[in-house]
Structure 1
C-alpha cells in the first residue's frame, strides 16, 4: 500500500511527529467536518486511540501493510 492510497479528505502521518502524536491527532479531528475522512498513518496499531474515537463520536477502519505500517481511516459516526 502506498501512503496516498485512499480517497480520504485529509492525511496525518504521525510517523513524522517527534514525540507523542495524541495532541496532533485530536487537533486534526476537531476540525474534521461531518462529511470528511481522515487517514491516519502510524508505525504501530494505535489500539488505545480506538476507545477515544468511539467516545468522541467517530468510527474507524484499520488496515495494515506489514508490522510497521498502519492505516486508520476515521470519520464521524
Structure 2
C-alpha cells in the first residue's frame, strides 16, 4: 500500500463545499504515469470505484479513523 509520503498530489474532499466529483476528476486528469493521488474522505467513496476502474485507475483504500478514509489512486 502507498503511504502519504509516496503521494504526488492530495485532495481532501472534506474541505470541498458541495459535490467533489469534478475536483476529483481534475486531479486525476493531472496525474502522470506513475504518480499517485491521495484522496481523503469522511466515508468510503464506493461509488467512485467503478468510475476509477472505467477510466483506467488502480486504487487502494484504507480507513484510518472513524471519519477518515484514504484512497491512493494511480493510473494503470
Q: TM above 0.5, one fold?
A: yes
Within 5 Å, give how 1:1-77 maps onto structure 2: 5-77=4-76
Offset at residue 7 of structure 1 (A): 1.2
Indicate the structure with greater helix content: 2
- Tell me the secondary structure at the aligned position of residue 6 of structure 2: coil
Offset at residue 65 of structure 1 (A): 1.3
Q: Deviation per CA, 1:29-61, whole angstroms, max 9, x where unpaired?
A: 011101210000000000000000000000000
Q: Distance in 1 between matches of 2:26 and 2:36?
A: 14
Over aligned residues, Cα RMSD in angstroms? 1.2
Offset at residue 75 of structure 1 (A): 0.1
The alignment covers a number of residue pairs equal to 74
TM-score between the two structures when normalised by the length of structure 2? 0.92
Deviation >6 Å, runs of 4+:
none
Which stretch of the first structure deviates more once superposed, 27-36 or 48-57?
27-36
Q: Structure 1: where are the runs of 5+ without partners?
A: none
TM-score between the two structures when normalised by the length of structure 1? 0.91
